[in-house]
């Protein structure tokens, strides 16, 4: 470190030496295809100074380079590990204006991770269904750790995580069981006539994550049930009445009550439907699920 001596009351010019103090990866190991952080710390390097970072592996093969600027004597970047890098990855940092360069320690590269066949055991789920989630995983050894993350899909990309299940890789596969439940109020699901974009039922997907590498499943659609009950003004059931359900997706479904004056329609789109009893009044709004309603004649 630079030091100097001088008298007070006078200007003394001192030359300080710039330096790269540290270059390191934010993790010790990663798999090709994943992403890891790279940090650079410097001393006496001005804001906006240009730096260049070159990537090479242990075999000396180059894996590209990029340029950026440093601020506050600190730089951070997310680096995607090249899929064909071997053994270890080294980042060489150069500040040409300051004639400085330094290499990072080698980032140990795990075998490449390939995640395929990420699938639900069905395409639709009802309340209380137990679903099997599976995927094939190549690269990591048996006993390696992974995670299954379940999300409710959002059209704008702000997917909400509803569950995370730690799993272990066995025979190049991962699997988990998950009980589906819908905890929100189906009254809040817009019907086809309430939105310009049409009806969109709740939809789910899951992601298998091994380190920084992940792959997503296809969609899982939620199907619900509606109970239709009809009674007279005194509370007596009216059996055998025919009805028409106007479902939230814009479709219709016809049915007939049993002799106890009730009927359950399963596998319907979740949301608020309308039920009409021809010649007996209506329509009446009926939400799907546990809050299904009653009609009165």
Tens of pLDDT along the chain (297 residues)?
556 666 777 777 777 889 999 999 999 988 888 889 999 999 999 899 999 999 999 888 999 999 999 999 999 999 999 988 889 999 999 999 999 999 999 999 888 889 999 999 999 999 999 999 999 999 888 998 999 999 999 988 899 999 999 999 999 999 999 999 999 999 999 998 888 888 999 999 999 999 878 999 999 999 999 999 988 888 888 899 999 999 999 999 999 999 999 999 999 999 999 999 987 766 778 788 876 555 444
**Alpha-carbon distance 185 to 172, whole Å?**
39
What distance in Å separates the CA atoms of residue 284 and residue 297, rounded to the nearest whole number? 11
**Domain assignment of residue 14, yes or no:** no
Same-domain status, 31 and 78: yes
Residue that terminates a domain, selected from 182, 199, 222: 222
Q: Decide: helix, strand or coil at residue 120.
A: strand
CATH number at residue 37: 2.60.40.1930
Are residue 102 and residue 82 in the same domain, yes or no? yes
How far the first Cα of the chain sits from its last, in Å, is 92
- pLDDT for res 297: 43
Based on the fold, state whether residues 141 and 217 are members of the same structural domain.
Answer: yes
Residue 91 forms part of a structural domain: yes
Closest among 41, 29, 34, 31 to 76, alpha carbons compared:
41
Judgement on whether residues 121 and 158 belong to the same structural domain of the protein: yes
| Domain identity same for 189 and 122 | yes
Q: Assess whether 241 and 290 both reside in one domain.
A: yes
Residue 10 placed within a domain = no
**31/88 same-domain check:** yes
Number of folded domains that form the chain: 3
Task: Output the pLDDT for position 291.
Answer: 62
Q: Which residues span the domain enclosing 56? A: 19-109
Question: Is there a single domain that holds both residue 133 and residue 159?
Answer: yes
At residue 219's C-alpha, the angle toward residues 213 and 222, to 5°, is: 135
Q: Which residues pair with 20 in a beta bridge?
A: 42
Could you tell me if 194 and 232 lie in one domain?
A: no
Looking at the fold, whether 80 and 126 belong to one and the same domain comes out as no
On whether residue 11 sits in a domain, the answer given is no
Helix (H/G/I), strand (E/B), else coil: 65: strand
Q: Is residue 189 part of a domain?
A: yes
Residue matched to tokens 């009927």: 263
Is the domain of 191 the same as that of 234? no
Is residue 252 within 8 Å of residue 245, measured between CB atoms? Answer: yes
Task: Decide which of 165, 190, 222 is a domain's last residue.
Answer: 222
**Residues 218, 138 within the same domain:** yes
Domain boundary among 57, 85, 109: 109
- DSSP assignment letter at 113: P
206, 226 contact by CB (below 8 A):
no
Is position 5 within any domain?
no
SS3 251: coil
Task: Evaluate whether residue 263 is within a structural domain.
Answer: yes
We report the CATH number of the domain holding residue 189 as: 2.60.40.10
Predicted pLDDT of residue 30: 86
The two structure tokens encoding residue 204 = 């789910």
Q: Which pair of tokens denotes residue 182? A: 């819908």
Give residue for tokens 């010649």.
279
Q: Is residue 12 part of a domain?
A: no
């Amino acid at each position: 470190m630079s030091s100097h001596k001088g008298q007070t009351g006078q200007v003394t010019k001192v030359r300080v030496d710039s330096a790269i103090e540290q270059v390191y990866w934010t993790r010790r190991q990663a798999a090709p295809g994943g992403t890891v952080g790279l940090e650079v710390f410097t001393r006496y390097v001005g804001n906006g100074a240009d730096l260049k970072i070159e990537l090479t592996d242990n075999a000396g093969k180059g894996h590209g380079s990029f340029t950026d600027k440093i601020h506050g004597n600190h730089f951070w970047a997310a680096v995607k590990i090249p899929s064909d890098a071997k053994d270890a990855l080294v980042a060489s940092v150069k500040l040409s204006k300051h004639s400085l360069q330094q290499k990072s320690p080698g980032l140990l590269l795990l075998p490449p991770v390939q995640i395929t066949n990420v699938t639900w055991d069905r395409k639709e789920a009802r309340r209380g269904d137990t679903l099997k989630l599976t995927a094939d995983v190549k690269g990591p050894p048996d006993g390696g750790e992974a995670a299954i993350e379940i999300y409710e899909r959002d059209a704008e990309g702000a997917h909400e995580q509803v569950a995370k299940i730690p799993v272990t890789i066995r025979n190049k596969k991962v699997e988990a069981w998950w009980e589906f439940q819908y905890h929100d109020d189906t009254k809040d699901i817009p019907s086809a006539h309430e939105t310009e974009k049409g009806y969109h039922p709740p939809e789910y997907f899951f992601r298998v994550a091994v380190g920084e590498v992940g792959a997503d499943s296809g969609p899982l659609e939620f199907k619900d049930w509606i109970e239709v009950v009809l009674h007279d003004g005194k509370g007596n059931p009216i059996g055998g009445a025919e009805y028409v359900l106007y479902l939230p997706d814009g479709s219709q479904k016809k049915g007939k009550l049993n002799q106890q004056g009730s009927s359950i329609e399963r596998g319907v789109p979740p949301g608020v439907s309308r039920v009409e009893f021809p010649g007996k009044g209506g329509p009446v709004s009926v939400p799907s699920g546990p809050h299904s309603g009653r009609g009165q004649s």
